[in-house]
Homo-oligomer: A and B are copies of this chain.
Amino acid sequence: MTQKPFFGIQACSGFARAGWLQTPHGRVDLPAFMPVGTQGAVKALLPSQLAEAGVQMLLGNAYHLHLRPGEDVVARFGGLHGFMSWPRPILTDSGGFQVFSLAELRRVSDRGVEFQSHIDGATVAMTPERATEIQNALGADVIMAFDDCVPYPCERDRAEQAMRRTVAWAARCRQAHAREADQALFAIVQGSVFEPLRVECAARLAEMDFPGYAIGGVSVGEGDPLMYQVLDATLPHLPADRPRYLMGVGTPVNLLECIERGVDLFDCVLPTRNGRSAMAFTARGPLRLRNLKHRDDPRPIDPTCACAACRGFSRGYLRHLFQAREIAAAVLTSLHNVAFYQDLVRGCRQAILEGRFPEFKRSFLETYQHPEGDETQ
């Protein structure tokens, strides 16, 4: 990394932290939520709409971009920032999770993974070195070590093997990393739901002194209580002076619970995926926009929201767009949901800065979880 500090903490409220990342493409206020731009685009949204919604950092995926269009193509456009016309910070996932969730006929060994592309069936060999090389070519501000992901539930022996492999692979990723000056390499803690494995993984990775740490292998079916237990066991073993990224999480409630425990960074497909399927987040709980009760409703999705969707469009119109299968339905609802998530983490940050995170959380949850609800809104 450059000599400039990469991460700082400005305030804490309990275990919750407000801070920042300083990257070659600008600053990210923490806690932060990254919309998912797997294939070099956040589904249904343009970069200008993301920026207007307050997004500071996006997630891209090395697995997908390697398969299509290829990191060499992306590199010729000035890397992922130039390719997708997003001048702000980007984090790329290494593809460990995708190899294990999307690819077919995979064979895992200590060396790496061989699998068949989910797009065309071509055989691809992925190793920690290759995953790092791909991410060096993509040029994101933060890149992720290649990890061995296990499903849930998972036998302890397999979880332990994957954890040890993930630690060894993190070392190989660092060894292979060719752009330490402008790309921060984060290590990923694995270990399934076995607390001793999580503790060991966190401690061994912490010794290796990475600029940031992620917790992977959660939100894979274990349920919220187990996920929170994993976090409670793991976070104390991660260095307090490094950013903490919880991968693939989550709902608004998840974000509050995990920020309270000390997580700084999140990504999740929920705001955009739900946006495409007519589910809109509001401070009073989610709305299902296809519901008949919205037909004549002139109110925006969330009267307290200032996003472009809520400034111009009624629930009744959005319902019509979904019924009529118009693309604008997905665009507007995704736009609102992304803005809702940004507002949520910004609210958390402000509350932490002012030392009132517990009150903020309680107040948010009261409104969100005991809504007059979709039935009366």
* Residues of chain A at the chain B interface (Cβ within 8 Å): 39-41, 43-48, 64, 68-69, 73, 76-77, 83-85, 295-296, 298, 308, 312-314, 316-317, 319-321, 323-324, 326-328, 330-332
Nearest first, the 10 closest Cβ-Cβ pairs linking A and B are: A39-B324, A44-B327, A85-B312, A41-B326, A69-B320, A41-B328, A83-B317, A76-B296, A85-B313, A41-B321
23 contacts between A and B (CB under 8 A): A39-B320, A39-B326, A40-B317, A40-B324, A41-B326, A43-B327, A43-B328, A44-B327, A45-B328, A46-B332, A48-B308, A64-B324, A68-B323, A69-B295, A69-B316, A69-B323, A73-B296, A73-B316, A73-B320, A76-B316, A77-B298, A83-B314, A327-B331
Q: Nearest B residue to A316 by beta-carbon distance?
A: B77
On chain B, the residues within 8 Å of A324 by CB distance are 39-41, 64, 68
CB within 8 Å for A331 and B85 given contacts A69-B295, A298-B77, A314-B77: no
- CB pair B314 A44 closer than 8 Å: no
Q: Which residues of B contact A326 (CB under 8 A)?
A: 39, 41, 43
Give the residue among A40, A43, A320 with the most B Cβ atoms within 10 A.
Answer: A320
Distance in angstroms from A370 CB to nearest chain B CB is: 31
B residues near A68, Cβ cutoff 8 Å = 320, 323-324
**Number of copies of this kind of chain in the complex:** 2
Q: Are A84 and B317 in contact (CB under 8 A)?
A: yes
| Residue from B76, B77, B331 in contact with A331 in the complex, judged by beta carbons closer than 8 Å | B331
Kindly state the separation between the CA atoms of A321 and B47 in the bound complex, as whole angstroms: 14
Chain B: which residue is nearest A326 at the CB level?
Answer: B41
CA distance A320 to B68 in the complex (A): 8
A328-B69 contact in complex given A77-B298, A85-B313, A313-B85, C-beta closer than 8 Å: no
**CB neighbours of A64 from chain B (8 A):** 324
Q: How far is the CA of A369 from the CA of B84 in the complex (A)?
A: 32
Q: In whole Å, how far is A62's beta carbon from the nearest beta carbon of chain B?
A: 15
Q: Among A46, A298, A328, which residue has the most Cβ atoms of chain B within 10 A?
A: A328
Shortest CB-to-CB span from A243 to chain B, Å, is 29
In Å, the complex CA distance between A322 and B331 comes to 17
Q: How far is the CA of A76 from the CA of B314 in the complex (A)?
A: 12
Could you say which residues of chain B place their CB within 8 Å of the CB of A73? 295-296, 316, 320
Q: How many angstroms between the C-alpha atoms of A317 and B46 in the bound complex?
A: 13
Residues of B within 8 Å of A83, CB to CB, are: 314, 316-317, 320
- Chain B residues with CB under 8 Å of A331's CB are 44, 46, 327, 331
> Which residues of chain B are near A44, meaning CB under 8 Å?
327-328, 331
Asked whether A328 lies within 8 Å of B46 as measured between CB atoms, the reply is: yes
Whole-angstrom distance between the Cβ of A165 and the nearest chain B Cβ: 30
CA of A296 to CA of B70 in the docked complex: distance in angstroms? 11
A308 to B85, CA, bound (A): 12
